[in-house]
Structure 1
Amino acid sequence: MYNLLIVDDEPLICEGLSSLLAASGISIDHIYTAHSGYEALDYLKMEQIDLLITDIQMGSMSGIELMQQAKIIKPWVQVIVISAHETFQYAQQAMRLGAKDYLIKPLNSEQLLASIRDVLLHRSRAEHSQEQILSQFNDSFRMQQPSPERARLLGRLVTADEKERAEITHELALQYSTIVSGPYFAMMKLKLDLASSKRLNSVQDGQLLHYAAMNIAEELLNEQWDHCTYQEAEQPIATLVQWSEQQYGDASADKVNQLEMIGRSLQHNIEKYLGLSAVIGISQIFKGLEFMKEMADQADKALAWSRRFPDHYVFYFGDFKWELYGDSEPDEAEITKQNNMIVERCRSYIEQNYAQKGLTLNEIAQKNHVSPNYLSYLFKKISGYNLWEYVVKLRMEESKRLLLQTDLRRYEISERVGYESPEHFSKIFKKYYGMSPSEMKK
């Protein structure tokens, strides 16, 4: 059973699509509706959403911006975009952010239902394909490492000198031109915790788990990202993600957020399908394969940082102030001090801006010079609050004060604490306090 979220600033469209889906026979558990991107974000933060269906042009937050934020919050959410515009630029941006379809209004009911069934079926097939891999554990399955020659060449790039690197790059370009065209690259390294597996009975099982993880990475990346996944000997699985000049120049999506989105999706799916813990280290973005060693070193350092935070799984090199520590390993007191400073700055920013309409996790992270993924983790670890729960807490406390101590109406209070819709404000209020604003006023 699946949960769907429909987002459109025209209430009649939301109602019509809800009725259509409710009568479709598709295995749907719950249908949520939102009339703005900000309202939709609250549902994404509070509910388990499997499929997001969103309009492209909506008031103060577009469907593209909603997709960007949704991918930060829950990167595994599937998306179908609906639009009254056939503009290629919109469609291109939506597909680049992972939209599974782009449908033009007025919607054809059968086409929409077919698209939804296809997305949900694809999701089920992905689950089934991983089950098939796992079912082979006790069979006489011989694992062959995918593209060993490609892995060998890419591995050599890390240690090659300038002359040898030019030769290897030329050879890669001849044999695998699509994976080294770049010119912008970043590296992700994936380390499996095989000790956490209940399926590991032999060396062959360990190889198969790595093979299954590489298949999950390919399944996740193939449709949307220019990449190459490979593994050398006993090394972590490596994925080289690349962007062309045009893709890198597209300011519609933050590239670091994209990398962390991939990392979180990968970790989520490996845990879900393989029952394995996994840690992912991500390098910064470089221009040119001549920086392969730097990318590999950064990804390794990000992986190593996981020793300090065993309850976190995706680490971006740029989040850590390496220049403060030099070559020495920072002690616990230094790390704690730095992290407390990040959280306190974040808390202060939220307390000053929680009533701002359109406040997003991405904005809070940018103001504090860390990635949304790492900030969310630190804030929860140190303050005890999920970051957005803290925003809602401040909004609800202020709205309760205004409700009981002033004569302001519901829509005026909603406006003052940062909600665009009084109806949505009332839903959040009731979820938080267990009663509606009018019931509390009485």
Structure 2
Amino acid sequence: MRSVMLVDDEPLIVKGMQAIIDWDQNNMEIVGTACNGLEALSMMDGGPVDLIITDIMMPQMTGLELIRETKARNPYTKFIILSGYEEFQYVREGISLGVENYLLKPVNMEELEATIKHMQRDWEHEEMRQIQMDQSWRILRNNILQRWANETIDAKEFRERAQLLEIPMNKSTYCAASLRIVGDDQGDDPQMYLPGITEQCEQIGNKDLPDGCGIICFPDQEGDIMLLFVSAGTEGNDEWQIQALTRMKQAVTEDTDARVWGIIGQSESTYLGFPKSCKSVKLWLKNHLFMDCNTFIMQVENEEEATNQHQKKPGPAMEQFHKLLRDGEVTEVDRFIDEFFNVEGKELCLARTPFFNSAIQLMLAAKELEKTPDYGDIFGPLSRIHTLNKLKQLVRKVVHRTLDTYHTAEKTYSPHIMAVLEVVKNHYQDELSLKTLSQRLELHPNYLGQLFQQEVGTTFSDYVNQYRIERATHLLLYSDKKTAEIAGEVGYWDSTYFYRQFKKYAGVSPTELRSIYMKK
């Protein structure tokens, strides 16, 4: 079933479009409505839609801007424009953007339905061409498998696609597994070749399997190779799964010279349980850090083990660390970090949360020394870290960068700039501008702007935004306030603008930040 989004700032138009066409009869489903382009884009963060029917003139983002932005993200989305404007410039630009039709309000329903029928024929032809090409067939299968694993596909659509793509649905056991490839900092990233590696794994894994058993491999959006183990037997012997995963793991290690970890999830009795098995694997990976061993294979026995935080780690001695930072004792700082991240024993993996939380505490402590902290180099890399050693390296890198600048000669600001910095510190939640401040200081705004950039090393607007994001970061990490409330407290009255600025300066969204920093 094709997905449809309606975008118009007139609610009556949207309601009318929902009711006047039999969408089910046309094998289509309205998955969302929006009153402007920005709202529509945010709704598509969870995935693209097949068809967008949009007005042109809307607040915040026009329909034409929405089309351009959406096509940059997903060139396969189709568009129909509904407009009250017959001006040639809109028609011409709509045609240049490749829209399916440009219809004037009030809409001629026969013409609209004819346009939809035409698009359906185009979709059918496109699907046939893709299926006839082996690579396109594999891409389509990977997409269906990803949506199946994430439970983002309609049951009826999955059954139809599974039959076409030879995904088994009548086996007695279904089990998910994952191969995570972790390359070194030097050389090529193995994940660049993930599609080819995945195809190779499937070929190797399916050799010498017991009768009735099979393996399907597909890459997921996090860069892991996901595996579907199926079996027609009911004896519950999973030894063949371990043997096949070992063969694939060894082949990937030899080809990429990278560390490879294999995780096997829970077995389920029907294809409906495969997403649950996938979740158990991904949850286990999310909750653990690995030691720097070469390769290993582990089995997730049950959901309780998947969430087991078996490694208890007390937090760092922050008062001591703050003193070392202020004293600038780099050798002692490094010794402190090394000792904290030193783990005795022979464990292959550790609970991620306590180590991540402690690492963030240490890096934020260093950032507090900076006048204009940039949080992008903290939170951006965290999602790509899977080993304890890499986490330690990130902490040392961030701390060293701060100490290199902090313990140089202190800058002496002019009285005018000191006054500006004091205003930002005490009134960052208010509307601030160089024009207003220049009037208070009796300076020309252009001169004040040049003086600020010369002494502080950044523009006034960047400094204000960085300061606000710093305050927002502390509220996100150390309070339970909602994101919209925090945005207002630090001076952003438009939540959408706050999200954009936060992602720009911190490297992750507010939601992602809180997800990374899971509270103990």
Give the TM interval when normalised to the shorter protein: 0.3 to 0.5
Structure number with larger C-alpha Rg: 2
Larger RCO, structures 1/2 (Cα 8 Å, 6+ apart):
1
